[in-house]
Amino acid sequence: MSIDPVRRRNSVAPTTRTAQLSALGRPSRVALRWISEPDHTEELTHGELLDQAARAATALTRLGVRAGDRVAVHLPLIPESVIATLACGRIDAVRCSLPMGLRAHELRERLRELDAAVLITADGDQRSGETRALKTVVDRALADCTVVRSVLVVHRAPRPVPWTPGRDLWWHEALRPRPSRRSRSRGLQQARGALVALPGRLPEKTRAESRNLEV
């Protein structure tokens, strides 16, 4: 996955300010290119990336996220991870990354430490031709965790997904409404974004993938 105009290793997303300035100057230029398995390419222009971030910020606000609140993000390296970072920056929320590969009890403890009411995750992830059911692990982690009130689920796995009505929301449905004009205007101003990595070592495979990621 690559991001223009900034190219840096060991980074997952551009800063909110960089994305905003790039969208103003080159809205139609490709900002993000993601190649998934099996060899499927997705692209977002600077304008599209900023628009998706605005929609995600609106969705988080509707879920009660305010400036300074923590948003837990448990996502593989997919475009929605970048969008989530930019969305948090727009509303001055704190993105807290949860490493992939955590077991249910480990994920539960991290969520309790964060005290985040909103969790962003995916229904699954494909690696080496196999689909990992992420939502199943998340549900086991939330069984004894009352901190999280809302779960935004990115659709990536072509299989049935366990669902808790009233708590779980599809990412694409939450982003469907258009943001207000005021939200669009605020998105062109500088926002403070924070990226927090919780203590703990990433699995070796995940760290190796991160080193190969160019942004």
**What are the tens digits of pLDDT across the range 167-209?**
999 999 999 965 455 555 554 443 444 445 444 444 444 444 4
Token representation of residue 94: 């704190």
d(CA 52, CA 44) in angstroms, rounded, equals 9
Is pLDDT of 47 > 60? yes
Segment 118-145, tens digit of pLDDT: 999 999 887 766 778 899 999 999 998 9
Share of the chain above pLDDT 90, in %: 51
Is pLDDT of 163 > 90? yes
Predicted confidence at residue 179, as pLDDT, reads 47
- Kindly write down the DSSP assignment for every residue of 65-118, as one continuous string: --TT-EEEEE--SSHHHHHHHHHHHHTT-EEEE--TT--HHHHHHHHHHHT-SE
Is pLDDT of 87 > 60? yes
Token representation of residue 165: 């009505």
Is pLDDT of 3 > 70? no
Predicted confidence at residue 112, as pLDDT, reads 95
Token representation of residue 117: 């009411």
Token representation of residue 158: 């072509």
The fold of the 2-200 domain, in CATH, is Rossmann fold (3.40.50)
Whether the model pTM is above 0.85:
no
pLDDT band at 40 (very low <50, low <70, confident <90, very high): confident
Predicted confidence at residue 211, as pLDDT, reads 37
Is pLDDT of 84 > 60? yes
Q: Give the residue extent of every domain in the chain.
A: 2-200
